[in-house]
């Protein structure tokens, strides 16, 4: 499976260290959550089905 390549663009040059740290702190933060499908053992449905299980 090929990964997507991103083109990096310069946002600012010659910025003070304190200002650059503030800029990095304000950037969007995201969390990656991985899960897999496992047989459900919680509910009372008669037919077999799967539920997501977080790793």
Provide the pLDDT confidence category of residue 24 given band limits of 50, 70 and 90. Answer: confident
Residue 55 lies in a domain: yes
Residue 5 lies in a domain: no
Residue 13 lies in a domain: no
Residue 40 lies in a domain: yes
Domain that holds residue 38: 31-55
Provide the pLDDT confidence category of residue 43 given band limits of 50, 70 and 90. Answer: confident
Residue 52 lies in a domain: yes
Residue 54 lies in a domain: yes
Residue 51 lies in a domain: yes
2 CB-near residues (< 8 Å, 6+ apart)? none
40 CB-near residues (< 8 Å, 6+ apart)? 48, 49, 50, 51
Q: How far apart are CA 26 and CA 17, in angstroms?
A: 15
Give residue 14's pLDDT: 87
Report how many domains make up the chain: 1
- Other Cβ atoms less than 10 A from the Cβ of 6: the count is 6
- What pTM does this model have? 0.32
Mean pLDDT across 21-31: 79
């Amino acid at each position: 499976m090929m990964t997507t390549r991103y083109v990096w663009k310069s946002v600012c040059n010659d910025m003070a260290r304190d200002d650059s740290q503030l800029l990095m702190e304000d950037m969007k933060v995201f969390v990656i959550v991985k899960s897999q499908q496992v047989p459900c053992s919680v509910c009372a449905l008669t037919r077999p089905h799967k539920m997501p299980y977080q790793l």
